[in-house]
Amino acid sequence: MCCIFSVCGPSLDLEELKKAMLKSVSRGPDDARAIKAGDGLMGFQRLSIMGLTPAGMQPFELKGSYSVCNGEIYGFAKIKKELIKLGYQFASDSDCEVLLPMYQEYGVKMFAMLDAEFACVIYDEKNNKWIAARDPIGIRPLYYGYTKAHDIVFASEPKCLTDLTEGKIFPFPPGHYYEDGKFASYSDIARPDESLRDSELDTVCAKIRDLLIAGVEKRLVADAKVGFLLSGGLDSSLVCSIAARKSEHPIKTFAIGMREDAIDLKYAKQTAEYLKADHTEVIITRDDVINSLEHVIYLLGTYDITTIRASMGMYLLCKAIHENTDLRVILTGEVSDELFGYKYTDFAPSADAFQKEAEKRVRELHMYDVLRADRCISANSLEARVPFGDLDFVHYVMSIDPEMKLNRYNKGKYLLRHAFEGLDYLPPEILWREKAAFSDAVGHSMVDHLKAYAEEQYDAQEFEEKRRKYEHAMPFTKESLLYREIFEKYYPGQSHMIADFWMPNKEWEGCNVNDPSARVLSNYGNSGK
């Protein structure tokens, strides 16, 4: 995971940029560099993953143009060979070095050609203009704002922009590029492609299996060591199982749970033993959670209840990995819920409603689960890779007839489970285990402690008075007010960076609830056991 910066104009100096870069040193602890590019500035903080030598340090330069990129360009070796045939030379083994030659050959059309999770900025010296782009899901973060002189400024995290810009800070829209002062879409990954639609269950499941395996395999390629977050749930367990089959040595897996009532630990251990993994458990307490709360909200840049709850365990787990191992890359199970459905999507009144909800969630992932994975992992100088966010995989799953994705089998994510049924990837009791929300499965007590702590902060009158100060995403519980007040301490007036609270669709019968946890839904069943 790295951090990129660009000031697209003369309104700031290098010292101001370097000061802002200090806020995100955890994203790139190995090296840092800031330069002048045209009449603007570029900065980069490096976490070495591919091309570990100094030659892989950014910004890259080519014929007076410059680029910075936080990303992984899959299949870059093939791209590199094609560019060498066109006369380009390369100084490093970094995958991101291909971007400037690609831009010079193809212009902004290049972004639709990439199989990548990335955020990048390019200074085009010949045309004296700035280009920026972000991957279609928003796996890699990018934010922007404007200086007093109206120069646009880009950075990987909003905290890096608070001292550089005036007014609002915005998330860069996924699947878009910026050119000549305008944003343009090059990919809407959530839109179904009817040409990919298969009608036979076995055909659909075979493609799901093949595409997920390919998505995991390409994310195992790194010059740095790789580890895996393992909750014992379906998604992370599948990622680990696929990786274990492709690895010569036992994979390193990590699970976390509360001391008193961890749910996931026993399932994670069972899965790790089945896969013969080198497994580590991390045990946390109420004090660990409460003492980390404000710092985690600062790192996240969100007030969303679901994101913050789920981040507590993830952040503390990644902190333990950083402090006790030499791993650099972490694979996770995010994105699966939005593609295949979650507990609340069982209440979808129709296939069309299910599809519309899935499209909305995929387009907003960069503000919720994907944001959580990025910040919790990068804050601990690690890089997140998300196999379920593989572009080919998402493109195909979003194109599956939603009638097939509805829970007609009394088991959520049936297609994904059936795709690996009978193939010994996982024990049946893990493959068919009921979905449990991560923040709950770390231990129900964790969320209970957070809610109890929030209750202690306000009486009823104070709660009503304080929550009504916020017109956008008005807090509706004492917990949500506590999170919002901490958020405003570090990001005053920036609540629009997050669309709203991640909540079940209140328009659906059975989903008009006042807590985002699936625990409050009538179909939660045995998920928490």
Give per-residue pLDDT as tens, 328-377.
Answer: 999 999 999 999 998 999 999 999 999 999 999 999 999 999 999 999 99
Nearest-angstrom CA–CA distance, 154 and 134: 11
Terminal Cα-to-Cα distance of the chain (whole angstroms): 35
* Contact (CB, 8 A) for 41 and 34: yes
Side chain identity at 465, as an amino acid letter?
E
Contacts of 471 (CB under 8 A, 6+ apart): none
Please name which of 334, 340, 344, 341 lies closest in space to residue 371, comparing C-alpha atoms: 334
The domain made up of 3-185 has a fold known as: Glutamine Phosphoribosylpyrophosphate, subunit 1, domain 1 (3.60.20)
- Per-residue tokens: 178: 């910026």
CATH class, range 214-520: alpha beta
* Contact (CB, 8 A) for 164 and 12: yes
Residue 318 a catalytic site member: no
Please name which of 424, 334, 425 lies closest in space to residue 372, comparing C-alpha atoms: 334
What is the layout of strands, in order, in the sheet containing 40-46?
31-37, 40-46, 3-7, 152-155, 143-146, 166-171
pLDDT for 285: 96
pLDDT for 529: 56
Neighbours of 456 (CB within 10 A): 9
pLDDT for 223: 82
Please name which of 407, 383, 377, 386 lies closest in space to residue 310, comparing C-alpha atoms: 377
Please name which of 461, 484, 384 lies closest in space to residue 49, comparing C-alpha atoms: 384
Pairing of strands 252-258, 278-284: parallel
* Contact (CB, 8 A) for 106 and 46: no
Q: Which residue has the tokens 């094609």?
A: 82
Alpha-carbon distances, residue 138 vs 32, 231, 302, 371 (angstroms):
24, 23, 16, 9
Please name which of 350, 260, 346 lies closest in space to residue 518, comparing C-alpha atoms: 346
Q: If the chain, 529 residues long, is cut into consecutive pieces of 10 residues, what is the mean pLDDT of each piece?
A: 90 94 90 95 87 85 96 94 96 94 97 97 97 98 97 97 95 97 97 92 97 97 92 96 96 95 91 98 97 98 97 97 96 96 94 97 97 96 95 98 92 96 96 75 89 97 98 97 98 97 95 88 70
Nearest-angstrom CA–CA distance, 141 and 278: 31
pLDDT for 1: 61
Cα within 13 Å of Cα(238), Cβ side: 28
Nearest-angstrom CA–CA distance, 180 and 127: 10
* Contact (CB, 8 A) for 380 and 326: no
Pairing of strands 226-229, 166-171: unpaired
Domain with CATH 3.60.20.10 in the chain: 3-185
* Contact (CB, 8 A) for 268 and 253: yes
Pairing of strands 129-134, 116-124: antiparallel
Neighbours of 324 (CB within 10 A): 11
pLDDT for 28: 85
Q: Whole-prediction pTM value?
A: 0.96
Annotated active-site residue in 2, 8, 120, 511: 2
Question: What is the residue-wise DSSP string for 366-416?
Answer: GGTHHHHHHHHHHTTT-EEE-GGG-HHHHHHHTTS-HHHHS--SSSTTHHH
Side chain identity at 168, as an amino acid letter?
K
Q: Identify the sign of the CA torsion 382, 386, 387, 393.
A: negative
* Contact (CB, 8 A) for 175 and 135: yes
Domain with CATH 3.40.50.620 in the chain: 214-520
**Backbone dihedral angles phi then psi of residue 460, each to the nearest 5 degrees:** -60, -45
